[in-house]
Structure 1
Amino acid sequence: MNYELLGQLLVNGAIIGTLYGVVAMCFVLIYKSTQVVNFAQGEFLLIGAWVCWALLVKFNLPFWIGFPVTLLFMMVFGIVLQVVVLRPMIGEPVISVIMLTIGLSIFFQAAMGWMFGVFAEPYPQIFENEAMNILGLQVQTAYIMSLIISVIIMVGFYYFFKYSRMGLAMRATAFDQQVAQSLGISVKQVFAMAWAISAMVSALAGVVVGMVNGVSSALSFFGIKVFPAVILGGLDSIVGAIVGGLIIGILENLAEFVDSQWLNLGNLYTVAPFYILVIILMIKPYGLFGTKDIERI
């Protein structure tokens, strides 16, 4: 058994798992606030990655300027999207809104392909050293940056929901929209902020993945890969999103190790999260930390 490869994959899995957890939190944030599953989440990563690439390559901005500008742009983009496209859907059946997000996903993919082409584009070199040696293991510098930022975001989410006025308003809205509105909370403002934060944080993940693998339409598949992590942790649990992301990140890298050493199937890394998704839905449909809906007739 190649223990060095196993250790390398486990470290990579834990780091990429934190990134999964961050994107999964975006799913949960929108679901908790609006009761809608956003199937255009992967496209938020794609748009953010392309915008940052354009700022760095086309406008020659340094990364330390282009990256914050990208996050600011995506925050505004999320607000505009919610106000213009999604706000008129308030009160409509949930399935209609979900189908709208699927339509947005297709539209954004086509728009990005039209604007930037269909071929993968590499990011310019951001860091002096592309990889760092940690305990004898080579880890991409971009992943180290993502790990640090992801931990900061997770801690920030905790304090945001526990102590900030908007965070408390979001928690109240997620519990009961009518009660929250009767207490003077602007539900429309909460919805807009949820989509803004989701778009901004997803863009961060898109930039990190783009720095490692380049930017192409395949990046939008990242959002679908995160969905098993959301289901595993629980669709309405922030903590579950983090735990689910870590578990899926480690398990898919273990699947790659098993595949490379013994099975030689060639695609187990890609499909393993979805096998896990099916098993989760069969055994624990509400996830590890999800809230069970009990209806009395």
Structure 2
Amino acid sequence: MTSNAVMQNTIPQSKPVAPAIIRPSVLQHSFKVEICTPSIGAELSNINLADAAHDPEMIAEIRALWLKHKVLFFRDQNITPMEQQNFATQFAELEAHPLAPSHPEADKLLMLYRNLDRDKPNFVEKFSRENFWHADVTFKKAPPRGAVLRCEMGPETGGDTMWSNMVMAYEKLPEMIKQQIDGLYAKHSSEHVFASQLPREQRHAMAAKNPDVEHPVVLTHPETGEKVLFVNSAFTTHFSNFYNFEDVRYGQDFMPEAHHLMNYLTSQAAIPEYQVRLKWRTNTVAMWDNLQVQHYAVADYGNAPRKMLRATLAGKPLA
């Protein structure tokens, strides 16, 4: 007789036991974290964002990972617009975009819809305004704190998004440049991007409603204390207080140097070693820190339809 048989004959058979009830929070906290690149980004799996919104401990864990990795990715999030909005609300108050429409079912979600009318007569492709390196809405006194973006429908190929770590961009600057930009401020404007194709009167009206603002070139992050290079090619127009007394012969001499320096700083986001790239799938969610990163939505998908919903986390005025 085998040992198993002996055990079966000698050990009394217990009555069937009902399966243990496992709290949803236990399952949620078993999520897996996979680092995307050495510089930026992490993907979280075995997690449902609709459920996570009701678990404060889970939200705290996600927030810590968000601050550390700058951008987080979540796959297979088959959630409603309101569930997406509710998840995003756990991290900050939400704000609607000042110049774009909101979703009818969730009033704080921005609809980034492209090429939905491609089968209609006389359709003309509408190029995206997001295919350049930028942080969102830095022309406000209080730029957004972050964003939660979900793919409702994407093209079969193309339409990736890239993010760049602007904390690392500052860290890697030559010391001479760090000294040069210490204490500098720069102007951020909406007019030359969003209003550039409008008639003069409308352009002036938009500028009056959204006046230029000034932000530090080197921002101290309000939660991590890290220094961030906070200029971008979309909205930053010029330095407010740049003047190099040592090299100036005539009053005009400071201008070329200021422009070259600004172009150099805004180009840092395009360095591949600071970046992560996401290939979207339906129900993929990306969550990023708008103060720590810039992003670039690649417009390489032609006339293919693309539907994205973005929740914008409200920020506070910058020092």
| Same-fold call, TM cutoff 0.5 | no
Larger fraction in helix: 1
Question: TM-score, length-normalised on structure 2?
Answer: 0.23
Larger Rg: 2
Please report the TM-score for the alignment, with normalisation by the length of structure 1: 0.25
Higher relative CO (Cα under 8 Å, sequence separation at least 6) belongs to: 1
